[in-house]
Chains A and B, each alone.
Chain A
Amino acid sequence: MTTRHVIAKTGEIAPGSSKIVTVAGREIGVFNVGGDFYALANRCPHAGAALCEGFISGLVGADGPNKYRLERKGEFIRCPYHGWEFDIRTGQSWCDPKSMKVRQFSISVAPGETLVKGPYVAETFAVQVEENYVVVDL
């Protein structure tokens, strides 16, 4: 059974940026990729580094030597330790998609008014009905 946790107001995490929060004892990085939100454990499956403190970038490719491309901008995070690249949306490692994946968390945007009621409001956030909130299910 999962619990919903309110992370932030959507406006706090601008497109292309991220926020690292601790929820129920776990560090989670929340990313805004082109207006959509994704949440990854702040723990690289390779060697436990603080993955979400790495570099948000695109996918580098090449049609051959000296023919570089940078695509899917903002969709990848590079681990600050060994530089491994992870697809923010899926958590999969680019180099080892089958065997290496970051723990993902299911995330949604909830309108503020649904959160005013009941126990889901985090004490640290001032509730504003017209705002949207980023919510993580754990």
Chain B
Amino acid sequence: MNAPLREQKAAQKLMIVDCDIHPIQRSAKDLYPFLSKHWREHLETFGGHVRQGLIEQTMWPRMMAAGQRADAYPAQGGPPGSDFELMKRQHLDVNGVEFGMLVALSKGGMEERNPDLARALSSAVNDWQLEAWVKRDARLKAGIVVTGEDPAHAVAEIEKRAGDPSFAQVILSPRSSEPLGRRKCWPIYAAAVRAGLPVGLHPAAIPGGSASSGAGWPTYYMQEHHTFVTGSQATAVSLVMEGVFEEFPDLRIAMIEAGFSWAPALGWRMDRVWERMRKETPHVKRPPSEYMREHFWFATQPMEEPENPQDILQVFEWIGWDRIMFSTDYPHWDFDDPRQAIRVRLTDEQREKIFRANAKALYRL
């Protein structure tokens, strides 16, 4: 069967590690093999119970095609990201994906208020990633989706999966009921470190119980989109200022779909405040920007498009060339194409780091 010309031409020479791919269930039934009868019946009747006012969709509708690439809707139905063959054909094969890091946030129990259902969903989504994705394609790596609100179960789930090379990281949403640096979450970091896994922070679509901005709720999707950045900034500050990295010097954090160009300014800002107010946080023993430099990795999507494209090189330098990891966010609307996303000339070494080497080092691929 002849692949369309676009795909033929595209599948040349490019080899990347894509640090943000979103698989999703075609329907809730995809999780049934991994759920008990009790939970199947619960889902069929009561359904999920999450922290938002609408059941079936987000309170800030996305722009086009429900925020997905219009061409990623499978012909036979189901949402974008639910069809392995389409993902393979449209993305993995043509974009030279050597490894694809799955971020399977949807229905992972992160936002579920019923604590026992949340536990069941978390475990089910992790089983599902193995069966429906990783086993079908060795390029795909799962992430252990854990219940951030229920650290005890999160620890148990991490310990259950530790040592299985199918899982490359722990996945948490920074849209949590408490900032992720708080001590309640520390057992999760301890477990991640014991398992030798980085923690990937990816904002979920559903807010975590606080208004998504410190001044209340946005009106428009344009604003909600930016709260992914500000919520991630708050999470980074919390992790640093609570002393998480003093307690867990081996903890590695990947910020995914949070943006990245804000990181240097945030580090400088923390340094200035820490200079004046450090008696409040004696557990932060070094300038905060040092912890950021040592413990954070950043996925590139959505890539910045400064007016002067060369500015992006300055940002990469400030963050660290070894900390930038390419990601596409397939199949979402603001997908970054690996051939297009970076509009400046990179050296071969820089290109290799961003597109493969940094992620391979972080995830031990």
* Contacts from A to B (Cβ < 8 Å): 22, 25, 27, 46-50, 53-55, 78, 80-83
Looking at chain B's contact residues, the main secondary structure is: loop
As a 0/1 sequence over residues 47 to 78 of chain B, the CB contacts with chain A under 8 angstroms (1 = contact) are 00000000000000001110001110000000
Known interface pairs A22-B4, A50-B71, A53-B70; A80-B64 also in contact (CB < 8 Å): yes
Given A53-B70, A83-B63, A48 and B334 contact (CB-CB distance below 8 Å): no
Known contacts: A82-B333, A83-B333. The answer to whether A50 contacts B64 by CB under 8 A is: no
A80 pairs with B5, CB closer than 8 A: no
| B5 contacts across to A, CB distance below 8 A | 22, 25, 27
- Choose one: B6, B65, B341; the contact of A80 (CB below 8 Å): B65
Query: In the assembly, what is the distance between CA of A80 and CA of B335, in Å?
Result: 10
5 tightest Cβ-Cβ pairs between the two chains A and B: A80-B70, A47-B340, A48-B340, A83-B63, A53-B71
Q: In this assembly, does B337 line the interface, its C-beta being within 8 Å of a C-beta of chain A?
A: yes
Question: Mind listing 29 A-B residue pairs with CB under 8 Å?
Answer: A22-B4, A25-B5, A27-B4, A27-B5, A27-B6, A46-B340, A47-B336, A47-B337, A47-B340, A48-B339, A49-B69, A49-B335, A50-B6, A50-B71, A53-B70, A53-B71, A54-B64, A55-B64, A55-B65, A78-B64, A80-B69, A80-B71, A80-B333, A81-B69, A81-B333, A82-B333, A83-B63, A83-B64, A83-B333
Residue of A nearest to B343 (CB): A47
Give the distance to chain A from B82, nearest Cβ to Cβ, in Å: 18
- B:307-365 near A, CB below 8 Å: 333-337, 339-341
- Name the CB-closest residue of A to B72: A80
CB–CB B64/A47 < 8 A: no
Residue with the greatest number of chain B CB neighbours at <10 A, chosen from A50, A78, A82: A82
What residues of B have a CB within 8 angstroms of the CB of A83 in the complex?
A: 63-64, 333
**A47 adjacent to B341 (CB under 8 Å):** yes
Q: In the complex, what's the smallest C-beta–C-beta distance from A21 to chain B, in angstroms?
A: 11
In the assembled complex, the Cα of A83 lies from the Cα of B225 at a distance in Å of 14
On whether the beta carbons of A82 and B337 are closer than 8 Å, the reply is no
Q: Complex Cα distance A50/B5, Å?
A: 12
Given contacts A22-B4, A50-B6, A80-B65, 4 further A-B contacts (CB under 8 A): A46-B340, A50-B71, A80-B64, A81-B337
Which A residue's beta carbon lies closest to that of B340? A47
Q: Is there an interface contact between A81 and B334, defined as CB atoms closer than 8 Å?
A: yes
Residue of B64, B65, B333, B339 with highest tally of chain A CB at under 10 A: B64
Q: How far is the CA of A22 from the CA of B334 in the complex (A)?
A: 26
The interface residues of chain A lying within 8 Å CB-to-CB of B341 are 47
State A47–B339 Cα separation when bound (angstroms): 8
Q: Collect the chain B residues with CB atoms within 8 Å of residue A49's CB.
A: 69, 335, 337
A103 to chain B, nearest CB (A): 15
CB distance from B251 to the nearest CB of A (A): 34
Contacts of B336 in A (CB 8 A): 47
- Which of A25, A46, A48, A54 has a CB less than 8 Å from the CB of B70? A54
**Cα–Cα, bound, A22→B6 (Å):** 10
In the complex, the answer to whether A55 meets B70 with C-beta atoms within 8 Å is: yes
Distance in angstroms between the alpha carbons of A24 and B5 in the assembled complex: 11
**Contact of A82 with B334 in the complex, beta carbons under 8 Å:** yes
Cα-based distance from A78 to B64 in the complex (angstroms): 9
Kindly provide the distance from the CB of B259 to the nearest chain A CB, expressed in whole angstroms: 15
CB interface residues, B 75-91, toward A, < 8 Å: none
CA distance A78 to B335 in the complex (A): 15
CB-CB under 8 A from A78, the residues of chain B are: 64
